[in-house]
Amino acid sequence: MIEKFNFSSRAKTIFIAIGAIGLALIIIGTISEKGEHVRFWANFLLCNFYFLSFSVIAVAWMSIQYLAKASWAVALKRIPEAISGYMIVGIVATIVMFIASFVTMDGQKMGEYSIYSWLHIDNPDILHDRILTGKRALLNFWTFNIITFVLLGVWYYARQKYRNASLREDREGGLEFYNKQSKYSAAFLPFFGLSICLFIFLWLMSTEPKWFSTMFAVNIFVGGLVSTICTMLVITFILKKNNYMGYVNNNHFHDMGKFMFGFSIFWMYTWVSQFLLIWYANMNDEIVYYLARMHGKWAILFWANIIINFILPFLGLMMREAKRQYNYIIVVACLMLVGRYIDWYLAIMPGTAGAEGVNQAGFGFYEIGFFMFFAAMFAYTVAYKLSKANLVASNHPFLEESFHHEI
């Protein structure tokens, strides 16, 4: 069965236009918010992590499906493959942030130095801080970047192995490539579980280096997994609306809806587990994280985060029929993607642009511009990758079973 996605000139123009508008807003923000370098790079980090996480977790999603021998997901296989293709763009964006760290503007270092306070070892308060001194072996410029690029390199290598084996399976058939991908999955997933935690600790939790939580990385990862599934569902819906993937039915949507429902509950479980232990212990070094977010200008987002990422999917996806109505579940998925942005905005901004003495956090040209710019790059890349392969994994051994999936 052959079905090719046509990445039309009109779609390319729309994505490029959205990216151009986003870039224009960033430039306007740079002019109107002159000197707010921390806010600029905090939004760069937020949007880069937001979309990069989807591409990385898409590789883990494919690994899970292979190890679980999940036949239902085969009909959707090309979608996580295309999402994972964005990873190279995220890596390039990370390189930009790394290179910018060597640039000085208005007497301040840019890039990573704008976001991570622990890099400023020339500051006596940081140089002689007992907690930061104890973390110096990990929290230093070169260790941070070497680990970052090693992890990104391994993830991208794994992505390429999956993609190449999948395309060769289309051409040559047989069980050889399915078995190879299953072996890749068995080797990749344990590494991924450890590496994604390290990545999250370095990229996000170190924005507030004195605070720590062993649940933080799990909570961020589960939220990313939910959002990756939501993204897959939105892409599937768009394709079906444009007369592609007719073999995908409401049973496939139902299964994705179950994952959205289940993992949104698990996200809340990890969130509550982290929150209650810190709140009950009431230790100054820990409770400051939530005090900063539960009061003042962050309070509305704090409660909106819980409502959108837990209460909404819990009530909205509880019934069976809710997960089988395309238009309805897409609205829920899009709202959950908004909720994930709020969740990670809260994880990054209070410790960077909103930190004491900085006070640059807000919502304006930077926030809208960066999101539009990165969203356009993500959409363009995913559409391009979809157009480069048959939408049907034609020689996958579980393909026929996936076509007749019924629950």
Average pLDDT rounded to a whole number, residues 173-185: 90
Average pLDDT rounded to a whole number, residues 318-345: 94
pLDDT above 90: percentage of residues in the chain: 79
pLDDT reading at 371 higher than 80:
yes
Q: What is the pLDDT of residue 284?
A: 86
Average pLDDT rounded to a whole number, residues 37-58: 96
Average pLDDT rounded to a whole number, residues 344-357: 92
Q: What is the pLDDT of residue 376?
A: 98
Q: What is the pLDDT of residue 373?
A: 98
Listed range (74-78, 131-135, 274-278) with the worst mean pLDDT: 131-135
pLDDT reading at 337 higher than 80:
yes
Could you report the per-residue pLDDT of 103-143, keeping only the tens digit for each?
A: 998 888 899 999 999 998 888 878 888 888 888 889 999 99
Q: What is the pLDDT of residue 404?
A: 87
Average pLDDT rounded to a whole number, residues 164-180: 90
Q: What is the 3-state secondary structure (H, E, C) of the chain?
A: CCCECCCCHHHHHHHHHHHHHHHHHHHHHHHHCCCCHHHHHHHHHHHHHHHHHHHHHHHHHHHHHHHHCCHHHHHHCHHHHHHHCCHHHHHHHHHHHHHHCCCEECCEECCHHHHCHHHCCCCHHHHCCHHHHHCCCCCCHHHHHHHHHHHHHHHHHHHHHHHHHHHHHHHHCCCHHHHHHHHHHHHHHHHHHHHHHHHHHHHCHHHCCCCCCCCHHHHHHHHHHHHHHHHHHHHHHHHHHCCCCCCCCHHHHHHHHHHHHHHHHHHHHHHHHHHHHHHHHCCHHHHHHHHHHHCHHHHHHHHHHHHHHHHHHHHHCCCCHHHCCHHHHHHHHHHHHHHHHHHHHHHHHHHCCCCCCCCCCCCCHHHHHHHHHHHHHHHHHHHHHHHCCECCCCCCCCHHHHHCCCC
Q: Which of 122-131, 171-180, 336-345, 358-367 has the highest mean pLDDT?
A: 336-345
Q: What is the pLDDT of residue 74?
A: 93
The mean pLDDT value of the chain amounts to: 93
Q: What is the pLDDT of residue 346?
A: 96
Could you report the per-residue pLDDT of 200-248, keeping only the tens digit for each?
A: 999 999 999 999 899 999 999 999 999 999 999 999 999 999 999 989 9
Q: What are the extents of the domains in the chain?
A: 9-376+388-397
Q: What is the pLDDT of residue 361?
A: 86
Average pLDDT rounded to a whole number, residues 49-58: 97
